[in-house]
A and B are shown apart, each in its own frame.
Chain A
């Protein structure tokens, strides 16, 4: 188990380096630069700007500089939002994005698993069809459709919750974003839980537990549920990746000042260091979460340690 963890961590480092290199190469190969604006800059100003940010040096040199700075936790200056470093910008947006993502993940797991258990235990024809339809819809609907629809119903018509925006220490601003973000993940988790619990409930050891006279609740909690939740744990990595991407849209729909806007705005502005910073941080986050989910799986299920 420890060997597996060490190997996976080393592989993660290599993966991150490759991702940094690839995205650096792609972004720099792109035509158009951060200083292409509506009014053209005079060549002298442009040359000065490029010298200031080191953009006049050969690409390999820039790459090495970037790597060295990155190793010290320095993402460089933002080229378009003058007076800000990428790190300052990320520090502004990341806490909110992380809070949103974390609450959404927890909500999705709690909601999805309980819905899945309920659907596995309560199996009338109507409930089955209802569950299949609801989960298919929730999975198929993208956040940029559910988000505005929820805002339309709960914000504009019922006036229960704010339509968009953000105020510090006002959790009601997070309700609709969390709901939008968690819904598809919860629906997928509910399906996974239902299918795997139904399979476990049919297996011989559950029958023997019942035959020993254990109560239904005890059979479910102590015997059936732990093995049934394994697919849920292994889906946590992809779920986290889904939530990270989804938060881009949700932050945009609900006008939340998270960090997602930096990626989109940075890509539109060709703000190289900002886009790179976002990619590095989000890639590292995704890799870490995947690693954590894999290790949790390996810990819970010894059989999965050998691939």
Chain B
């Protein structure tokens, strides 16, 4: 903490280190391109994700074909469906990540700041949930709601992903609790809630931001996993998970139905992981 911070502060230094990393920049470019394509797909393509083209059922991909990446058994354009899947996966994982970060931040900060018995019970609860395989809890939670609602996935994923954040934030908060500026704020008559919001939380955001880059790909994976099992996004809506599942049912006669969504998922995950690693290196103060 006493090390000299480069001119321009924490975030500028991080940005400089990030832009010196070519792999991360390529990953970022691919991600931005994918996200733009996914957002603009309805505008760019004459096909919609659930529109049926009766003339082209189960057609293989081809650049001269009417459908670049082929169609599925129902004659739906695979490129449009996959991009719709990417959009849904990105949306769900971003929202679920945000939800889990908020829960984790609040839970960890309250536990760490209050300390004592409350801290013990709150963290014991985290330990118990930690002991269960994460996706089991999600599967149980998906039974709470009618199937196919996207909010279900969101809540289920967000409600389970916060555990590590909570632990991290608690540890950080406990370290901060005894620092002089907190003491000063308390002496100045600030209420515990205000100290928590104005002085503690801003100081734990850095490590949490680093960790968030690790959660996003994990959320995409979990979402696809659930949709693959039939517990997440349901037909006719497309998610990478249920597209891959559909592909496995047809792979003998139409391997492209599996390969196209699988390729997109792999590219998405690889880019997110690369970017996450680079961000971690860029933001980690120990690396300086």
Contact = CB atoms under 8 A, between A and B. Distances in A.
Interface string A141-157: 11011001101100010
Given A15-B128, A140-B273, A264 B144 contact: no
B140 A140 contact: no
B140 A268 contact: no
Contact of A26 (B141, B228, B245): B141
A197 interface: no
Contacts, number: 112
A29 interface: yes
Interface in B247-267: 247-248, 251-252, 255, 258, 262, 265-266
A176 B178 CA distance: 54
Contacts of A148: 244, 247-248, 251, 258, 262
Contacts of B266: 137, 140-141, 145
A253 interface: yes
A137 B228 contact: no
Contacts of A267: 139-140, 142-143, 231
A97 interface: no
B225 A270 contact: no
Contact of A142 (B141, B224, B245, B258): B224
B128 A252 contact: no
B225 A142 contact: yes
A19 B128 contact: yes
Interface in B102-149: 127-128, 131-136, 139-147
Contacts of B133: 241, 244-245, 282-283, 286
B139 A263 contact: yes
A248 B231 CA distance: 13
Task: Give chain A's interface residue range (CB within 8 Å of chain B).
Answer: 35 or more
B270 A136 contact: yes
A180 interface: no
Interface string A108-141: 0000000000000000000000000000110011
Contacts of A175: none
A140 B229 contact: no
B258 A152 contact: yes
A263 B136 contact: yes
Interface of A: 15, 18-19, 22-23, 26-27, 29-32, 136-137, 140-142, 144-145, 148-149, 151-152, 156, 163, 241, 244-245, 248-249, 252-253, 263-264, 267-268, 270, 275, 279, 282-283, 286-287, 290
Given A15-B127, A142-B269, A144-B244, 6 more contacts: A27-B140, A144-B224, A148-B251, A149-B258, A152-B251, A279-B132
